[in-house]
């Protein structure tokens, strides 16, 4: 069985052409892609005209189209994976992600706290009156 290559499926032999096609497939504007590849032109309209002339070539047009379709397929696959994960999170029981355990309660020095005995209530009451403490 022969494998027939679809138009644009093979990388271009000219490295600048290939880079330009990849930049254009990633939605970069024509002028910016043209300059980033290394073709210099001082005026925007000249860069635009040259990039349009370049994109009229069938191999360039096919390569950009192929790379764009490939990127769209990757985005669709990524979106499907993200949606599956979100549904798994949505359907999950939050308690499955936590575990309970017991620890020893510690005081401010790091020592284990012991059961404290309740304080005794004073049977007598101290009353301060004019600097003297009176026990009732």
Crossing angle of helices 15-25 and 58-91, in 10° steps, is 40
* Residue-level pLDDT, tens digit, the chain, 136 residues: 445 677 788 888 999 999 999 999 988 999 999 999 998 888 999 999 999 999 999 999 999 999 888 878 888 888 999 999 999 888 888 888 788 888 888 888 888 887 665 555 555 455 544 555 544 4
CA distance 29 to 58: 19
Torsion of CA 19, 70, 12, 9, to 10 degrees: 180
CA 40 to chain centre: 35
| Residue-range domain boundaries for the chain | 15-97
How many whole angstroms separate alpha carbon 91 and alpha carbon 56?
51
Q: Indicate the pTM of the whole model.
A: 0.54
């Amino acid at each position: 069985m022969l494998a027939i290559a679809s138009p644009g499926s093979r990388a271009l032999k000219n490295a600048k052409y290939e880079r330009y096609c990849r930049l254009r497939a990633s939605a970069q504007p024509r002028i910016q892609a043209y300059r980033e590849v290394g073709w210099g032109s001082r005026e925007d309209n000249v860069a635009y005209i040259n990039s349009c002339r370049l994109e009229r070539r069938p191999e360039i047009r096919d390569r950009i189209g192929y790379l764009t379709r490939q990127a769209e397929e990757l985005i669709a696959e990524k979106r499907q994976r993200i949606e599956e994960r979100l549904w798994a999170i949505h359907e999950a029981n939050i308690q499955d992600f936590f575990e309970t355990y017991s620890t020893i309660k510690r005081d401010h020095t790091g020592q284990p706290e012991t059961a404290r005995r309740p304080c005794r209530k004073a049977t007598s009451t101290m009353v301060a009156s004019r600097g003297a403490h009176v026990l009732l």
